[in-house]
Every structure is written in C-alpha cells, then in structure tokens.
Amino acid sequence: MNKFLIVGLGNIGNEYAHTRHNIGFDVVMAFVRKHGGSLETGRLAYKAEVRWKGRIFVCICPTTYMNRSGAAVKYWMDKEKVAIENVLVILDDLALPLSKLRLRPSGSDAGHNGLRDIQAVLGSQAYPRLRFGIGNDFPKGRQADFVLSKWLPDEEPVVMKKIEKCVEIIESVATVGLGGTMTAVNNLDFGS
C-alpha cells in the first residue's frame, strides 16, 4: 500500500488561524475532513491518518511553529517509513499571485522559513511542495503583518476554490503521480 506524508505548514495558536501564513494547515484540514478523518494531538504535530483508493495519507500540521517544521517532518517520515518522494509540503508563497498554485518536485526554500528548516533537517531539497500563492500586496517593511493577516472578504471565494483544488491535487499526486499532476496544476489561473 502506498503511503504519503502530507504536511501543512503554519503556526499554532488562535491568533494565526486562517491567516495567509497558515494556508497549509487549512488545506490539510480540508483534505482530512473530506476523507472523514480528524486531526489529533501527536508528537510534534496534529496528525490524522486517512485511507483512500488503496493509499494511506499521514497528514500533519506541525506544532513546532513554522521555523522548526523540519523536526516534525523528519519524525513522521521516519516513524511512518515514508519515502522523501512521497512527502508533499503545502505552504504559502508571497512570490505567487493569489490566482496561482505551483507544484514542484524539489527546489530551494525561496526564503520560506518552514522550507528552510525542513531542508536543513532532511539535508535535501528533493521533496515535493505545493505553493499556494498569497500575493504580495503590502507596503515596504510590512511583510510579516501581511502574511500573518486574515484573508480579505473579496479574496475568500478564490481562497476557498484553491483549497478545494489543493485537496484534489493531493489525491492526484497519489493516484496520477507528480508529473501528470504538475502539468495540470501549474497552468491553472484562479483569476483574482
């Protein structure tokens, strides 16, 4: 049976819930909910295990805070014996407009502290990641305030559509494969 580790990046605490920086948590929660699971407190993360179409999805939202996500990813990879190519990290991306998603098999951290820590702990960049564009409409020097802010009312419909699509992308990566899924995903435009 194929096993996947689905990692949603974010920060714990009510003040961070449903902010741009926590979109990884929101996607993982939507995936788990769709498949009838529920996140429970586990070591270094909230964790759920769901089964779908002969696959096992170990889904985690690290409770280590964003810049220490690597410890949780490594722990659950080792504990569940998940190969690095079957890890999918979902994160926010300032460099992408809100209308875009980007699926990649590997790559740099692009300044994202969560990815930076995962790559440092794993000693590799060779794990798939799904980048959720959050835009970059903020005044100079206000990046932290922007990423930790909630979505604007006019952005919410696009965000909800993208979350639904991300759930489908997770399913597609596990069934169709990364290559076929990337071709379809990277050309999508959710128009904002």
Catalytically annotated residues: 21
DSSP state, 146? Answer: H
pLDDT in tens, 4-35: 999 999 999 999 999 999 999 999 999 999 99
State the helix-helix crossing angle for 113-122 and 69-80, rounded to 10 degrees. 50
Q: Residue 105: is its pLDDT beyond 70?
A: yes
- Record the pTM: 0.96
High-pLDDT (> 70) share of the chain, %: 99
**Which residue ranges form the domains of the chain, and what is each CATH number?**
3-186 (3.40.50.1470)
For residue 191, the model assigns a pLDDT of: 83
Asked whether 23 and 78 are in contact (CB, 8 A), the reply is no
How far, in Å, CA of 162 to CA of 93, rounded? 13
Each residue's pLDDT tens digit, 130-147: 999 999 888 888 888 899
pLDDT of residue 1: 67
- Alpha-carbon distance 184 to 104, whole Å? 12
Nearest Cα to 171, choosing from 158, 184, 160? 184
pLDDT digits (tens, 9 = 90+) for 41-66: 999 999 999 999 999 999 999 999 89
pLDDT tens profile 64-90 = 989 999 999 999 999 999 999 999 999
DSSP 136: -
Residue corresponding to tokens 């071709």: 183
